[in-house]
Structure 1
Amino acid sequence: MSSPALRPISVAELDLDTPEGPVLAFRPAPGGPPVEPGEVYALVRLRGRPAATVVAVVAEGEDPAEVLAGPARRRLAEAGPRTAAERLAAARPLARPDLLARSRPVAVPPRASVVVATRERPEQLARALDSLLAQDHPDHELIVVDNAPLTTDTHDLVTGTYADRVRYVREDTPGLAVAHNAGLAAADGSVVAFTDDDVIADPHWLTALTEPFAADPGLGCVTGLILPARLRTPAQILLESHGGFAKGFAPRVYDPAEPPADEPLFPFTAGSFGSGANMAFRAAALREAGGFDPATGTGTAARGGDDLYAFVAVLSAGFRLRYTAEALVWHHHRDTWQDLRNQAYGYGAGLTAYLTATLVRRPRLLPALLARLPRGLAHARTMTAQRGEGPAGGVPGEHGTHHHPWPRGLSRLERRGMLFGPIGYAQARVRARRGRNAR
């Protein structure tokens, strides 16, 4: 299975005054190279607020801002003369419009702790920390969890370059969930946000991610928008063409007391709630739910699923979950074709590993899962199907459409991962138990 021939795509930001108004700003994505002639993928903002994504071809000598402004205005005008948020939300029904209204941002976000788990990637970590130190949130701390380090590079970076600005925590047991639990234990904020070492956070990210907790005491988790920082390699372009990590621009509230009608598998389709690179929890809610399952996540045999497990755990404890596109991070997708192969297998394994973890630790959910199992199997087949068989015409950012065919080999890897997930989770639990007994 070889990589498809895809040309690099520039990534940029376009800020409009109104959906029909003039361009306020145009710039490359944070940390990215200048925009070049050819295809350009752009985040469209309305006076700074993320609103949509578009792709357009910019010819040599053309003004990329003006070229992209045309499709951006058309995209924002598609649903008629309403606010951009209303137009975008109309594309997907809200689970609880009343709760969404209650959880609108307030003036002062709660104190927050930001946890970044990392392992032997000091250059990427420094880039992420620089963006996190530039946040406009008024009261927060930064915690780096050095997971099973092989060198002192991360320790030296955090305690040297970022001394007195970033707290360093060492966790010798490998696994992303274990590292996140270590960060949770060290955090003193009433809200704990988690992101990865391969992101650049928008300056307003933490404020947008944490404000909703102040307005809704029943809110347990908030997730946000993840966009690609670069689209330079075929692997990056292919991943983003088939959804990437983004969940769209429509706000959403999930309430376990009133399951959403358009989510028949709720809460077991946790992948639709958000991703681990951009999530925050009310600390008390996450602790009440038992934290992350240490036998899940990257670095364990389960390969992933730590974030999905936490989402369902918090919902199962009776808390609500909200998604907001205003909390934005730019993610550096992996570069190579082998990275994408590993990611496809890991997604499949993480999916069934988190479901296994949920049932092992919350057996009372078994009847609900069994009732949803037929639809769940159909959903899994659809998710891992030959994606290129869908409607044509999509571009990176039009999530759910298919511009570049998804190779069958990647679908097979996802399915193989799904078969292995429960086995990997069992192996990880055995190793975790041995590690505890050895202490």
Structure 2
Amino acid sequence: MRLRPRSVVDLDLDSPDGPVLSLRPAPGGPAPGPGDLYALVRLRGRPAATVLAHVREGDDPAEVLGRLAREQLPDAARTEPPPEPYALPPRACVVVATRERADQLARALDSLLDQDHPDYDVLVVDNAPRTRDTEELVTGKYGDRVRYVREDTPGLAVAHNTGLAHAGADVVAFTDDDVVADPHWLTALTAPFAADPRLGCVTGLILPARLRTPAQLLLESHGGFAKGFAPRLYDPLRPPADEPLFPFTAGSFGSGANMAFRTRALQAAGGFDPATGTGTAARGGDDLYAFVAVLSAGFRLRYTADALVWHHHRESRQDLRNQAFGYGAGLTAYLTATLVRRPTLLPALLARLPRGLAYAKNMTARRDVDGGGVPGAHGGHTHPWPRSLSRLERRGMLYGPVGYAKARLRMSRLRTPRLRMRGSR
């Protein structure tokens, strides 16, 4: 069955069986109307599930979606006790690394400046810019509301390390220039640090802002960036029984568009590996490396769906092909980086290798496009994924260690002149 475009909407219920409080489009989207809809379901503002619906001409979208949501809400959402109030979140700095995407960046910054967090600032790291567009946007439109730092060495991990060095806050949060943050995002992402001194990292929910093109639909139907709605706590002292590959299945922990670290924990873990990430030959893996590094340093990691950002997926099929290859490359690049920088983890990785290969084979397997399943339902392994993308993802896995070696060599060459220059003074 052909993947049909869907309007993305945001539905809020008073309770699992209660009335609809509000129905509105995803940020910047069209008003809900007849057609195919993808809905985030909230319970009094807190994300709880997603549902798909077809609304016929003349039907009330709120009524149709409300009925479906009440029928399909998972048992966990029905039986979960009322959430406790958030602790006062610590001071935070939001870092956005960007390169030549001023229009998208402006949309992201507008949402980041509209957060309900009581004490934070926003820092833009302009990574290897070719023009002054980003600098002029930040200094001109946003003035003293957003800080600007230029980082000339290309690479997302390098830019993130620059942001970490300039953060000056207890918690440093990272997101991308192609998201729109929910107004409660930063509070939900950072408040857990106040309640748990062993917590080193918190990740959150990423949902699609648009599902218009075949590439956007295919990516989200394959699982997208979503990690579900159930909260999870990952503790290196108590490995989860349902994840035998822990901590090497870092992709299940979260994604780089929605993550925050206790600053001292990320510093203790050595920051991001500069030879990983977009903008390097490794193609990705910078976020996955950081998750495992923080866990390996003895800190805990928490996932919460309450911290929500809406992500603008790339629109073209070529973008999707690049992403498929990059996902595979980033996975093995981060594993390579982990072993290079933390060789004591080698025995644990070798012990998990057979299961890991089977897991990778399953995750990258071709799946027929049958139109079933809820886009974004992470981990179901029933989402459409064509053979061409499966091949690209596996090819990327083979390339990842080579890409990391190339990126590491390039980084060493970039650092050498600086070191010599310092030594000559």
Short-chain TM bin: over 0.9
Q: Is the 8 A contact 1:143 1:169 kept in 2?
A: yes
Q: Determine which of 262, 266, 270 is the counterpart of 2:246.
A: 266
Deviations 1:350-409 (A, max 9, x none): 0000000000000000000001111111111111111339x9731213334477631100
1:39 aligns with 2:36: yes
Q: Is the 8 A contact 1:43 1:53 kept in 2?
A: yes
Q: Is the 8 A contact 1:76 1:84 kept in 2?
A: no
- Worse overlay, 277-286 or 373-382: 373-382
Equivalent-residue separation in structure 2 for 1:265 and 1:247 (angstroms): 17
Q: Is the 8 A contact 2:226 2:377 kept in 1?
A: no
How big is the shift at 1:8?
Answer: 1.3
Question: Equivalences for 1:40-439 in 2 at 5 Å?
Answer: 40-76=37-73, 78=75, 82-83=79-80, 106-388=86-368, 393-401=372-380, 405-439=384-418
Q: Is the 8 A contact 1:180 1:292 kept in 2?
A: yes
Equivalent-residue separation in structure 2 for 1:276 and 1:330 (angstroms): 13
Equivalent-residue separation in structure 1 for 2:334 and 2:116 (angstroms): 34
- Worse overlay, 394-403 or 404-413: 394-403
Match of 2:10 in 1: 13
- Worse overlay, 62-71 or 120-129: 62-71
How big is the shift at 1:76?
Answer: 2.1
How big is the shift at 1:47?
Answer: 0.7
Q: TM-score, normalised by structure 2?
A: 0.95
AA partner of residue 112 (structure 1): A
How big is the shift at 1:74?
Answer: 1.0
Equivalent-residue separation in structure 2 for 1:150 and 1:67 (angstroms): 49
- CA change 1:423–1:80 in 2 (3 A) is closer
Deviations 1:400-439 (A, max 9, x none): 4477631100000000000000000000000000011133
- Worse overlay, 197-206 or 67-76: 67-76
Equivalent-residue separation in structure 2 for 1:422 and 1:81 (angstroms): 45
**Unaligned runs of at least 5 residues, structure 1:** 87-103
**Unaligned runs of at least 5 residues, structure 2:** 419-425
Equivalent-residue separation in structure 2 for 1:367 and 1:212 (angstroms): 32
Equivalent-residue separation in structure 2 for 1:299 and 1:113 (angstroms): 23
Match of 1:101 in 2: none
- CA change 1:19–1:81 in 2 (3 A) is closer
How big is the shift at 1:288?
Answer: 0.5
How big is the shift at 1:33?
Answer: 2.0
Equivalent-residue separation in structure 1 for 2:194 and 2:132 (angstroms): 39
- Worse overlay, 27-36 or 106-115: 27-36
Match of 2:21 in 1: 24
**SS across alignment from 1:157:** helix
Deviations 1:107-143 (A, max 9, x none): 3100000000000000000000000000000000100
Q: How many residues align?
A: 418
AA partner of residue 226 (structure 1): I
Q: Is the 8 A contact 1:393 1:401 kept in 2?
A: no
Equivalent-residue separation in structure 2 for 1:407 and 1:393 (angstroms): 14
Q: Is the 8 A contact 2:11 2:20 kept in 1?
A: yes
Equivalent-residue separation in structure 2 for 1:288 and 1:52 (angstroms): 36
Q: Is the 8 A contact 2:93 2:167 kept in 1?
A: yes
Equivalent-residue separation in structure 1 for 2:236 and 2:382 (angstroms): 35
Deviations 1:61-117 (A, max 9, x none): 21111111111001226469523789xxxxxxxxxxxxxxxxx76431000000000
- CA change 1:413–1:84 in 2 (3 A) is farther
Deviations 1:286-336 (A, max 9, x none): 000000000000000000000000000000000000000000000000000
Q: Is the 8 A contact 1:241 1:401 kept in 2?
A: no
Taking only the aligned residue pairs, the percentage that are identical comes to 78
Equivalent-residue separation in structure 1 for 2:30 and 2:81 (angstroms): 29
How big is the shift at 1:34?
Answer: 2.2
Q: Is the 8 A contact 2:39 2:51 kept in 1?
A: yes
Equivalent-residue separation in structure 2 for 1:206 and 1:332 (angstroms): 19
AA partner of residue 406 (structure 1): W
Q: Is the 8 A contact 1:242 1:401 kept in 2?
A: no
- CA change 1:105–1:353 in 2 (3 A) is farther
**SS across alignment from 1:387:** coil
**SS across alignment from 1:62:** coil
**SS across alignment from 1:308:** helix
- Worse overlay, 357-366 or 392-401: 392-401
- Worse overlay, 117-126 or 375-384: 375-384
- Worse overlay, 372-381 or 304-313: 372-381
Equivalent-residue separation in structure 2 for 1:14 and 1:74 (angstroms): 14
Deviations 1:127-180 (A, max 9, x none): 000000000000001000000000000000000100100000000000000000
- CA change 1:108–1:249 in 2 (3 A) is same
